[in-house]
Amino acid sequence: MFIDGLQYCNWSNKIFEDWRSANLTAVHVTISYHEQFRETVSNFEKWNVYFENFSNLIMPAYTISDIEYAKANKKTAVIFGFQNPSPIEDDIGLIKILYRLGGRFMQLTYNNQSLLASGCYEEKDNGLSRMGKEVIEEMNRVGLIIDMSHSGEKSTIEAIEHSKLPITISHANPSFWHNAKRNKSNEILKLLASKGGILGLSLYPHHLKNNSNCTLDSFCKMIIDLIELIGIDHIGFGSDLCQDQPDSVVEWMRVGRWTKKIDYGEGSASNSGFPKMPSWFKGNKDWKNILNKLQELGLKQEEIDKIKGLNWFNFLKKTKGFR
Amino acid sequence: MFIDGLQYCNWSNKIFEDWRSANLTAVHVTISYHEQFRETVSNFEKWNVYFENFSNLIMPAYTISDIEYAKANKKTAVIFGFQNPSPIEDDIGLIKILYRLGGRFMQLTYNNQSLLASGCYEEKDNGLSRMGKEVIEEMNRVGLIIDMSHSGEKSTIEAIEHSKLPITISHANPSFWHNAKRNKSNEILKLLASKGGILGLSLYPHHLKNNSNCTLDSFCKMIIDLIELIGIDHIGFGSDLCQDQPDSVVEWMRVGRWTKKIDYGEGSASNSGFPKMPSWFKGNKDWKNILNKLQELGLKQEEIDKIKGLNWFNFLKKTKGFR
């Protein structure tokens, strides 16, 4: 079982073949950032065409059985998520609709304040809004997993506490290793784990110690420290991999339609595009480097298996949405 | 097994309780007429709320198992259909999307010419358009059933012939009994049956001999004549029942947004609203009148069972969409 908790690649035959070479069982795929409902539907339409054209490589994952079927039949199961609540607009009824269409994860915010909560780039974070609480309850009822990767500290804590089901931070790293707006405090990580949640470890350079120059050794030693802090059962990968994407895409992620200026997010005017990936993880072909290093550092195979996908699988099994 | 092939009632607790009193296993419910995609999604949202609030009475039908589950658990399974291709707009990708949302039937036209074919009220009928042929192929592939109840003669014949799977005329009567624009020629009925299709018999007064004054005897004798013509396996009910609907709804059906004038459809200026239902079928409580009369006229129980729902059930089982 090998599951990546987040990717947003420039989808193509090549990417899907890389997934198969890496033997990825399932990938949580971002299907929209700032896209409204109808735009998100168009993205689902595009994926339906991928599923038709590349049915030998990929399939949609609506249930745990789909993921098991993918594993048995050497395909990669695609789990859909939204990085912002834009697709539900101001309409709570769209949660069930998007679930029916295949959505299984939704972030309550993407860096900025949303109708539901606050993002990690806002100066102030009031926690959950009135609609935010309603949406968490409906997501719990329907089976959409709450993802707080891009949310502020207070919003994240309140979401973990308000949700009756475990939530995820699908792609971020611990602040104790690299202090960045997108990385998470020990308080959040411990609370997340204590409630049965899961953290997907990011390989996006801005989330890594020394960014693009991060060493494989440092990344893997952080995992060992994190096991110490929150226990091994709450850790997976969420690579945040944007393989083959042009720089215009990172601008869309950061700027959407919320400003007329340029927002550089974690980047800067002199480094405005996608950051250079670390030499040991340039794409889906490089997973083996991390897995080998974890073994070299003394992790047992059963521990590596958990981090590699079993923890994600068990987490998804617990949630309502994959039954 | 008791299935009605079409209703568009003013949905309420009362209607759903009437369904249960009649012991209806499943009903094909119209979820949109002229509604565009986003409006149709809003209608699905409303139904999701009905399913939450009346879960003791109704449930959605996505598969044959759902219909069997409904029967075993004394609920009525709701099968969704669109009476016009308005919900797919000009976008063939929306067929799969609407299928995922629960749609299982779609008419290629509603009285007028559409992007796909011609309606039974048009003076000229060119048969299937280029997009019409593409849409039939995609509906076949995805599992949406083609319904030609409101289509013109030539379009209907071409749809039956172009479709690789059996199609339906879910709510209409034979022209040999009552010659109306919405009723169907012997040629269509025989072709429909020869390809494994099914006709749902309508109880809408404009489709009945002598309209609102039609006798129960006449209606049931027509069924016996129809069995003679096309065989018993291709006949079901499709009542077209609009129980409790205000007259504004029949105006929406007829006029939609395609004209600024009033179109009276099968009615007239002096009889512009919903026609008076025949005394022996005013609503879902009156099904027994028809079933008793069929028995009185000499049909065996196994024949009545077929017309009552087994034929619809077998038809749905054959289609791809309910697997």
B41 lies within 8 A of chain A by CB:
yes
pLDDT, residue A233, reads 98
Q: Could you tell me which residues come within 8 angstroms of residue A123 by beta carbon, excluding any fewer than 6 positions away?
A: none
Q: CA-CA distance, B103 to B48, in Å (whole number)?
A: 13
Q: CA-CA distance, B139 to B319, in Å (whole number)?
A: 11
Which residue does chain B place closest to A99, by CA atoms? B101
Q: If you average pLDDT over residues B116-122, what whole number do you get? A: 97
Question: Helix %, strand %, coil % for chain B, to 5?
Answer: 45, 15, 40
pLDDT, residue A70, reads 98
Query: What does the DSSP 8-state code read for residue B306?
Result: I
pLDDT, residue A170, reads 98
pLDDT, residue A131, reads 98
What tens digit of pLDDT does each residue of A9-26 get? 999 999 999 999 999 999
- Integer distance in angstroms from the first to the last C-alpha of chain A? 18
pLDDT, residue B231, reads 97
Q: If you average pLDDT over residues B72-92, what whole number do you get? A: 98
Residues 266-295 of B with CB under 8 A from A: none
Annotate A44-80 with b (16+ C-beta within 10 A) or e (fewer). Answer: bbebbebeeebeebbbbbbebebbeebbeeebbbbbb
B102 lies within 8 A of chain A by CB:
yes
Q: CA-CA distance, B281 to B203, in Å (whole number)?
A: 8
Q: CA-CA distance, A172 to A174, in Å (whole number)?
A: 7
pLDDT, residue A102, reads 98
Chain A residues closer than 8 Å to B96 by CB:
45, 48
Tell the residue number behind the tokens 């990669």, with chain if given.
A76
A37 lies within 8 A of chain B by CB:
yes
CA nearest neighbour of A262 among A247, A272, A270, A276: A272
- Integer distance in angstroms from the first to the last C-alpha of chain B? 18
pLDDT, residue B148, reads 98
What tens digit of pLDDT does each residue of A271-281 get? 999 999 999 99
Contact A286, A209 (CB under 8 A): no
The complex scores an ipTM of: 0.89
The CATH homologous superfamily for domain A3-322 is Metal-dependent hydrolases (3.20.20.140)
CA nearest neighbour of A67 among A104, A38, A36: A104
Which amino acid, A9?
C
Q: Which H helix or E strand runs over B248?
A: helix B247-255
pLDDT, residue B137, reads 98
Inter-CA distances, A71 with A9, A201, A231, Å: 21, 22, 26
A45 lies within 8 A of chain B by CB:
yes
Q: CA-CA distance, B236 to B172, in Å (whole number)?
A: 11
Confidence grade of residue B96 (pLDDT, cut at 50, 70, 90): very high
Q: CA-CA distance, B210 to B230, in Å (whole number)?
A: 24
Options 3.30.70.100, 3.30.70.20, 3.20.20.140, 3.40.50.11540; which CATH number does B3-318 get?
3.20.20.140
Which residue does chain A place closest to B101, by CA atoms? A100
Q: Could you tell me which residues come within 8 angstroms of residue A282 by beta carbon, excluding any fewer than 6 positions away?
A: none
Q: CA-CA distance, A287 to B31, in Å (whole number)?
A: 47
Chain A residues closer than 8 Å to B103 by CB:
none
Annotate B180-198 with b (16+ C-beta within 10 A) or e (fewer). Answer: bbbbbeeebbebbbeebbb
CA nearest neighbour of B23 among B74, B66, B60: B74
> Per the CB < 8 Å rule, is B102 touching A97?
no
Q: Helices in chain A by DSSP H: which ranges?
A: 13-22, 37-53, 64-72, 94-101, 130-142, 153-162, 186-194, 216-230, 247-255, 287-296, 301-305, 311-318
Q: If you average pLDDT over residues B125-134, what whole number do you get? A: 97
Using the Cα atoms of residue A178, residue A184, residue A190 and residue A196 in order, give the sign of their dihedral. negative
Inter-CA distances, B132 with A126, A176, B40, B108, B304, Å: 53, 60, 20, 8, 36
pLDDT, residue B178, reads 98
* Cβ count near B224 (within 10 Å): 14
Residue B304, both tokens: 């009545």
Contact B310, B50 (CB under 8 A): no
pLDDT, residue B114, reads 97
Q: CA-CA distance, B4 to A305, in Å (whole number)?
A: 52
CA nearest neighbour of B108 among B134, B85, B77: B85
Q: Give the gap in angstroms from C-alpha B300 to the nearest C-alpha of chain A.
A: 42
Tell the residue number behind the tokens 């470890």, with chain if given.
A201
Task: Share the mean pLDDT of chain B.
Answer: 97
Q: If you average pLDDT over residues B123-150, what whole number do you get? A: 98
Q: Could you tell me which residues come within 8 angstroms of residue A136 by beta carbon, excluding any fewer than 6 positions away?
A: A108, A128, A146, A159, A162, A163
Of the candidates B38, B45, B101, which has its C-beta nearest A101's C-beta?
B101
> Per the CB < 8 Å rule, is A48 touching B93?
yes
Confidence grade of residue B133 (pLDDT, cut at 50, 70, 90): very high
CA nearest neighbour of A239 among A184, A277, A186, A274: A277
- Taking only Cα atoms into account, the Rg of chain A, rounded to an integer number of angstroms, comes to 18
Interface test with B, best of A43, A44, A62, A97 (most B CBs within 10 A): A97
Q: What angle do CA B265, B266, B268 make, to 5 degrees?
A: 80
Confidence grade of residue A282 (pLDDT, cut at 50, 70, 90): very high
Q: Is the pTM of this model over 0.90?
A: yes
Q: Could you tell me which residues come within 8 angstroms of residue B282 by beta carbon, excluding any fewer than 6 positions away?
A: none
Confidence grade of residue A227 (pLDDT, cut at 50, 70, 90): very high
Q: Could you tell me which residues come within 8 angstroms of residue B206 by beta carbon, excluding any fewer than 6 positions away?
A: B180, B182, B266, B267, B275
* Cβ count near A36 (within 10 Å): 13
**Domain extent listing, chain B:** 3-318
Residue B306, both tokens: 């077929």
What tens digit of pLDDT does each residue of B161-197 get? 999 999 999 999 999 999 999 999 999 999 999 999 9
Instruction: Go through chain A and tell me how many residues it has.
Output: 323
pLDDT, residue A212, reads 97
What tens digit of pLDDT does each residue of B33-73 get? 999 999 999 999 999 999 999 999 999 999 999 999 999 99
pLDDT, residue B212, reads 97
Residue B245, both tokens: 């609907």
Q: Could you tell me which residues come within 8 angstroms of residue A34 by beta carbon, excluding any fewer than 6 positions away?
A: A84, A86, A110, A252, A256, A257, A258
What tens digit of pLDDT does each residue of B244-272 get? 999 999 999 999 999 999 999 889 999 99
Q: Which H helix or E strand runs over A30?
A: strand A26-32
